[in-house]
Amino acid sequence: MIIELTHLHVHPNAEARFEEAFLDAADVLSKADGYLRHSLLKNHDEQNQYLLVVHWQRKENSTIMFRESGRLNSVKSTLHRFYELMPETSYYEAVNLSGLPVEKRHEPDHAG
């Protein structure tokens, strides 16, 4: 699994309109091949800054397939008018520190 992090800087005072438009973009995103899930996080201190977190099966699902499908252009046409700065995207993968497969790890039971 690959985690895509995109920093979004929205024009000040456009946050509510951006969030409303994001619902349409999220619908397009969620139909992409290899898409697993996403979340949109809003910066607590800088209300016009967001972090889009998208989980993909593979990096190529985002960097090649999503772009070539035309879905990226649809998302851009919906959201880019809100951006104060161009989005910055990075890709991450989980670090396995336990020796267990990342998907098999679980939190210890803290029940008393």
The CATH number of the domain where 48 resides is what? Answer: 3.30.70.100
Residue 108: inside a domain, yes or no? Answer: no
Residue 12: inside a domain, yes or no? Answer: yes
Residue 100: inside a domain, yes or no? Answer: no
DSSP labels for 44-93?
SSSTTEEEEEEEESSHHIIIIIIHHTTHHHHHHHHHGGGEEEEEEEEEE-
Number of domains in the chain: 1
* Pair of tokens at residue 79: 């959201």
What pLDDT is attached to residue 4? 97
Model pTM score: 0.83
Residue 44: inside a domain, yes or no? Answer: yes
User: Is there a contact between 103 and 23 (Cβ–Cβ < 8 Å)?
Assistant: no
Residue 20: inside a domain, yes or no? Answer: yes
Domain boundaries, position 61: 2-93
What pLDDT is attached to residue 106? 53
Chunked mean pLDDT (size 10), the chain, 112 residues: 97 97 96 96 97 97 91 92 96 88 58 50
What pLDDT is attached to residue 98? 84
User: Is there a contact between 66 and 72 (Cβ–Cβ < 8 Å)?
Assistant: yes
